[in-house]
Amino acid sequence: MKLDIVFHKGSNDKPAVIFIHGLGMNKDIWINPSKSLILGGRFPLKILLGKRPLERDFGPCGDNPPKRVARFSTGDPPDDIQTLFDDLRLKGHTVVTWSQGRPAGPTDFAISELKEVVKIANGMTKAGIVLIGHSRGGLIGRRYLLRKDRSIRGLITISTPHKGSSIARTASYLTPLVSVINPFFSGGDEGTLSFTVKRIVDFLKSRALKELLPESNFLKSMKDRPFDWVHYVSAGGTNPTLFSLYRFKWHAVKEGEYLRWFLRPTELFSIPDILEKVIPKNRYPEEIIKGKGDGLVSAESSSIPWSHEHYNFELNHAQILFDKGVRDVLVKSIDRASSF
């Protein structure tokens, strides 16, 4: 089996750590997140990590502001994105990840790949293996454990829908959302918006995402149980705001004979807050309720039923991977798994 794999050899005396990416993603989420795509490979990850943009100062520009300046933004991305892959490599662990050959395909295919990755990792350590999975990647790790592989010392899942996710059910409400959002745009921007919403709807209607619905056959077939040689850790998010859209408006300040021009951001709307306008209250999924979900997975669903440790963080489905506080907590969990 040919694998698109990346690894860094560490100490034989420390567990090797295998990173498993989520639905429709690839290894970049762990090793090069600035290039990573989300929502089934349709959008750059950075839109889920953006912060409110800063005011832009264009200096003295005469009576009229500059032309051809971007007027919309999903926020300023972080300057540097660090991952657990980086942290553990620097601590001397062997770290391994790969891009699944069928990232939106059946989990069985990914599990067969993981079997080969485990063989490779076991050749680089004498201290066992810890599996770390994000989103669906955590379920792939759980299913792999049914093989009763005693080389696995720990399983860490991050924003994994252990009880399923109902987010796929929101697809039917997104098309009407275009008419709600359109007034914020002008000119040719409406066409771009419609195309963007269509791509999100296609992702939400995908077979792979429906596999994660709470009543799916896939989740019903998860007849696993805890194994006493495995240390189980899970983490979930409680901030469902995936991204906000900002529009810049020109402001001028007179300085002597000149006007100094600034672009100041105003938040137009955020996802999922604007969904409250189109989704009936009695059908509003927990995944997108503040304090209860990370935008795609609920905090309750993110907990492994028999976890030794579970943590909730006020972060969304992507932020939780890169937040330093989360990473520090999980590095300590790996230390505990090493001695389990």
Return the pLDDT at 327. 98
Which tokens hold the place of 301?
């669903």
- Rounded to an integer, what distance in angstroms lies between the CA atom of residue 116 and that of residue 172? 39
pLDDT digits (tens, 9 = 90+) for 304-313: 999 999 999 9
Q: What is the DSSP string of 205-245?
A: T-HHHHTTSTT-HHHHT------TT-EEEEEEE-----EEE
Domain tally, the chain: 1
How much of the chain, in percent, has pLDDT values that exceed 70? 90
Q: Which domain range does residue 250 map to?
A: 4-338
Residue 186 has pLDDT above 60, yes or no: no
3-state secondary structure of 60: strand
Q: Which long-range contacts (CB under 8 A, 24 or more apart) does 189-192 make?
A: 189/72
| pLDDT at res. 176 | 66
CA distances from 241 to 49, 61, 237 (A): 10, 37, 11
pLDDT digits (tens, 9 = 90+) for 20-34: 999 989 999 999 998
Residue 41: CATH number of its domain: 3.40.50.1820
Confirm if 118 and 94 have CB atoms less than 8 A apart. no
With cut-offs at 50, 70 and 90, classify the pLDDT of residue 257. Answer: confident
Higher model confidence: residue 185 or residue 38?
38
How far, in Å, CA of 327 to CA of 191, rounded? 40
- What pLDDT score does 80 carry? 84
Bridge-partner residues for 96, per DSSP?
7, 18
Q: Are 97 and 6 in contact (CB under 8 A)?
A: yes
Gap between the Cα atoms of 308 and 142, Å rounded: 15
Give the pLDDT confidence score for residue 195 in this predicted structure: 61
Average pLDDT of the chain? 88
State the Cα–Cα distance between residues 236 and 68, nearest whole angstrom.
41
In whole angstroms, how far apart are CA 79 and each of 143, 216, 228? 36, 40, 42
8 A C-beta contact, residue 284 and residue 276: yes
Instruction: Give per-residue pLDDT as tens, 85-110.
Output: 999 999 999 999 999 999 888 888 99
Taking Cα atoms as reference points, which of 225, 267, 208, 212 lies closest to residue 243? 267
Cα(272)–Cα(294) distance, rounded to whole angstroms? 10
Number of H helices, E strands in the chain: 10, 13
Highest mean pLDDT out of 219-228, 259-268, 328-337: 328-337
Model pLDDT, residue 199: 67
Question: Token pair of 36, please?
Answer: 């990573």
> Interior CA angle at 28 toward 267 and 222, to 5°?
95
The C-alpha atoms of residue 6 and residue 124 are separated, in whole angstroms, by 13
- For residues 165 and 143, give the distance between their C-alpha atoms in angstroms, rounded to a whole number: 17
Please give the average per-residue pLDDT across 173-188, as a whole number: 61
The reply to whether the predicted model has a pTM over 0.85 is yes
